[in-house]
Chain A
Amino acid sequence: MMQPEPLPSSPPVTEEAVGQFMQSARELEAAVQTVIVGQAQVVRETIIALLAGGHVLLEGVPGLGKTLLVRTLAAALDLSFSRIQFTPDLMPADITGTTVLREHEEAGRAFAFQAGPLFAHLVLADEVNRATPKTQSALLEAMQERTVTVGTVTHRLPDPFFVLATQNPLEMEGTYPLPEAQLDRFLLKVLVPFPRPDVLRDIALETLRPSAPVRDVLDGRRLSDMVQVARAVPIATPILDYAIALVVATHPAMTEIEAVRHYVRAGASPRGLQALLTTAQVRALLEGCYNASSEDLRALAHAALRHRILLNFEAQTEGLSTDTLVDQILAQVPLS
């Protein structure tokens, strides 16, 4: 059984730590953007999720750079990285690891735990919706509990532990859409849009050039420190109330917003509120502000809530997206 060494507890937040956070975050963002061209918001939201200590679900059509983004992040972070290509025949043991019989010269034969690819700081779950629910559930436990249970033994995953999953919204044949419970485990769901023509030109030029290696910006210890720093960013009561109001407004039984009452089957969970607040804290620091603001909440509301709102059949038949509903919520929920 492999037990990763726990990182020492983070020091208290100091002015220096805050300054380092801002500098390191900017460096990380700049490093990633040297490779990922024209997807600034995707990069920003992904980094925010990482610095908030959460997992990210990247959704976009093939070829938009989702996998490249994760790989670039892993390269810039100087963390252990593993990539899992999810397929229908992928079994839970394939990702968590399993117990194998090993033979030792002194002790003879004994069972030993062979860690799977989940045991890495940064895990890329490529096309996560192609795996069976059984395998997806194994991933779910790892994401939430940050542990893996094999047999009767629970193994702790390394810290920091980030899962960056990707999924393709088009080829839904033979896929297993992620259940709501598992979607909720992702801190943010980031949509990767098709780049604009001018961005495509930059991408083409970047492709023709020899690729420059991405330098390490952060290690695991500093990343954990940054997560702790971000958690300390103050949030004023009116801002907290506003975040609560936004989440409450996603629930059809608790809101007066007609569209929500008409098209939503289930609203965002309390974890959605946590996601809003923690990501707002990180974004505030990235924006050079020392407090979370309503602007941060509004900027991250789509990414934090879109996968936590469950639409009903009527909304699906009308082709309504959760982003549209979030827009209406933002427009109608007053800032206190």
Chain B
Amino acid sequence: MGLRRIGQWVARGAGLGAAAGGVVLGMAQLHSFRAALPVAASVLCAGGLAGLIAGLRHWPSSLEAARAVDGHFALRDRLTTALELKSSDDTFAHIQRMEAAGRLEGLRLGRSARNRVRWREAIPVALAMAGFLALLTFAGTPPVGSASATSAPDAQRIRTAATFHLPALKRSVESGLSRQQRQFPAVRKLDVALAQLRAQLLRSQSRSAALRSVSLTQQELHQLAASLQPITPQAAAQLNASLSGYMEPKQRNAHGSNSSALATASQTLSRLVERLNHMTPAQRGQLARALARESDKTSDATLRSALQRAASSLATGDPRTAVSSLRKASAALTGSPSAAAAQTRLNAASGQLDSLKYEISGLTGEPRPSIASSGQAGKSGAGGLARSQSNLKGGNGSSRGQAGVRRGQGRGNPAAQGRGSGAGRGSGTGSRIAAGQTGSGGTGGHGTSGGRGSSAFNRRGRYATVYSPSQEQSGPRTTESGPNGQPTLSGIVPYQMVIARYRRSARAALDRSSLTPAQQDTVRKYFSSIAH
């Protein structure tokens, strides 16, 4: 009975503690209170402890126990009376005690403690506990924006962005990826980066901190995307064509489609490795020069580096290094589709994080790119022509890649009631002279969506020319040559490296600046447009 009494008091105390803790948690959802969770837990524990103390203080007296036994076993108050008359010498008292003792024989007095649950008490306690657990579950993650500087709407927006929009973004970005592509390191790094961003958002102390986290993640994704340099099918096809002369006719691969060009080129390099031991020194020299030429033609750093190293090794009579380099080049070609997919997703994710910034900023009325309708990569334009399409209804844009990067705004479609959108970006790399040879036309750019369209009917796009110092279209150029005629790249800074540096600086400046999200978006788009 005593234990039951203690249990009742502990339940009461815990119920009160849960109610108070629930109030604390509830208030923490409305106002900033960083220590809400520990305080609520402490209040709950304190309630339970207070109940325990109260239960000990209300330990049932012998009279209460007697009353309970009388009530439970329907003893007609025999035990109560006997207890009261225990010191009486009266005849009746004696008879009564004897009779009560006889009645008690064989009874299991402990059963008298098993009273029914008092629903009038149990229901409020259960409700309080359930409410506390519900609030605890709802606020199980650390309170967002709980710093005193963060307002409740900001915190709510950050929580919503972290809880709903970010997972949606992740699903959107990674949709359509094969299992192999999902296992690609860059995609896994994308997962990790988004997960870290979610955690950072949930821990954010302010809106600016949340925005900074998003910006840093964008920067990270940009860097990751920039580090991926997938080999284009055209480059692979050209490599295959150049090296096919060093293969026997029966081993020559004919590639039909762009998708198989990479695999074909990879096989060509693999077979070239097999034939390397049977080549004469003269053939090796010719192969070295051919590799040097191809390395100069390709824009892919990995392939270029591998080819250059192979050419250099063959030229210096180091076939082992040459074999290793060629295998590395072959591997780069094999993994290039996954890298391309990863790069596309990384860029898409980075772009969609802009929308997240709008969500966090609360600027839902501002024009912004939609998470669910991100633009897809445009087709490669022949001779530098790029065309982009937007998923948004009615918007399209086109640009013509010439010297440098062009940025265009699409034409509005009247059917979309003036809300056309689409940004066409095209970039073209011109030919250049390497080692006295003239190169062919560069690859076309690609387009992404996200721009604003004009609402004027049939209005033509406007273009802005952006100067890109490292992307020269034509003209004389001085390059250094190695001892065997292979080119060296000392003194040449790759465009991607420069633009990545610029972009980092710009993003860092944006994070520190007080520009509006729309203005920040403009700057960000500019750097995104010149990144390719």
* A residues with CB within 8 A of B: 12-15, 18, 232-239, 284, 287, 289-296, 335-336
In contact, B81 and A15 (Cβ under 8 angstroms): no
Inter-chain contacts of A235 with B (CB < 8 A): 81
Inter-chain contacts of B92 with A (CB < 8 A): 13, 18, 232-234, 290
Question: Does B77 sit within 8 A of A, measured CB to CB?
Answer: yes
Inter-chain contacts of A232 with B (CB < 8 A): 90-92
In contact, B77 and A293 (Cβ under 8 angstroms): yes
Inter-chain contacts of A239 with B (CB < 8 A): 77, 80-81
Beyond the given pairs A18-B92, A291-B96, 18 more chain A to chain B contacts, judged by CB atoms under 8 angstroms and listed by A's residue number, are A13-B91, A18-B95, A232-B91, A233-B92, A234-B88, A235-B81, A236-B84, A236-B85, A238-B77, A287-B76, A289-B76, A290-B100, A291-B81, A291-B100, A293-B77, A296-B76, A335-B71, A336-B67
In contact, B78 and A289 (Cβ under 8 angstroms): yes
Inter-chain contacts of A296 with B (CB < 8 A): 76
A12 to B95, CA, bound (A): 14
Residue with the greatest number of chain B CB neighbours at <10 A, chosen from A232, A293, A336: A293
A289 to B92, CA, bound (A): 11
A233 to chain B, nearest CB (A): 6
A294 to B96, CA, bound (A): 16
A237 to B76, CA, bound (A): 14
A336 to B90, CA, bound (A): 25
Residue with the greatest number of chain B CB neighbours at <10 A, chosen from A14, A234, A284, A291: A291
A-contact bits for B93-113, CB 8 A (1 contact / 0 none)? 111100110000000000000
Residue with the greatest number of chain B CB neighbours at <10 A, chosen from A18, A234, A292, A295: A234
In contact, A293 and B95 (Cβ under 8 angstroms): no
In contact, A293 and B76 (Cβ under 8 angstroms): yes
A228 to chain B, nearest CB (A): 12
Question: Does B515 sit within 8 A of A, measured CB to CB?
Answer: no
A276 to chain B, nearest CB (A): 15
Question: Given that A13-B91, A15-B91, A18-B92 are contacting pairs, would A234 and B76 also be in contact in the complex, using a CB cutoff of 8 Å?
Answer: no
Inter-chain contacts of A291 with B (CB < 8 A): 76-78, 81-82, 96, 100
A236 to B93, CA, bound (A): 11
Minimum CB distance partner of A14 in chain B: B91
A-contact bits for B508-530, CB 8 A (1 contact / 0 none)? 00000000000000000000000
* B residues with CB within 8 A of A: 63, 67, 71, 76-78, 80-85, 88, 90-96, 99-100
Inter-chain contacts of A233 with B (CB < 8 A): 92
Inter-chain contacts of B91 with A (CB < 8 A): 12-15, 18, 232
In contact, B99 and A290 (Cβ under 8 angstroms): yes
In contact, B80 and A236 (Cβ under 8 angstroms): yes
B366 to chain A, nearest CB (A): 64
In contact, A234 and B85 (Cβ under 8 angstroms): yes
A294 to B70, CA, bound (A): 11
Inter-chain contacts of B71 with A (CB < 8 A): 335
A239 to B78, CA, bound (A): 11
A295 to B80, CA, bound (A): 13
Residue with the greatest number of chain B CB neighbours at <10 A, chosen from A235, A290, A335: A290
Inter-chain contacts of A14 with B (CB < 8 A): 91
A232 to B67, CA, bound (A): 22
A237 to B85, CA, bound (A): 10
Contact of B84 among A13, A18, A237, A293 (CB under 8 A): A237
In contact, B63 and A290 (Cβ under 8 angstroms): no
A237 to B88, CA, bound (A): 14
In contact, A290 and B77 (Cβ under 8 angstroms): no
A295 to B73, CA, bound (A): 13
A328 to B80, CA, bound (A): 26
Question: Given that A13-B91, A238-B63, A238-B67 are contacting pairs, would A290 and B80 also be in contact in the complex, using a CB cutoff of 8 Å?
Answer: no
A335 to B77, CA, bound (A): 11
A239 to B76, CA, bound (A): 10
Inter-chain contacts of A336 with B (CB < 8 A): 67
A298 to chain B, nearest CB (A): 11
A234 to B71, CA, bound (A): 18
A12 to B92, CA, bound (A): 11
Minimum CB distance partner of A12 in chain B: B91
A-B contact pairs, 28 of them (CB 8 A): A13-B91, A13-B92, A14-B91, A15-B94, A15-B95, A232-B91, A233-B92, A234-B81, A234-B84, A234-B88, A234-B90, A234-B92, A236-B83, A238-B67, A238-B77, A238-B80, A287-B76, A289-B78, A290-B78, A290-B96, A290-B99, A291-B77, A291-B78, A291-B100, A293-B81, A294-B77, A295-B76, A335-B71
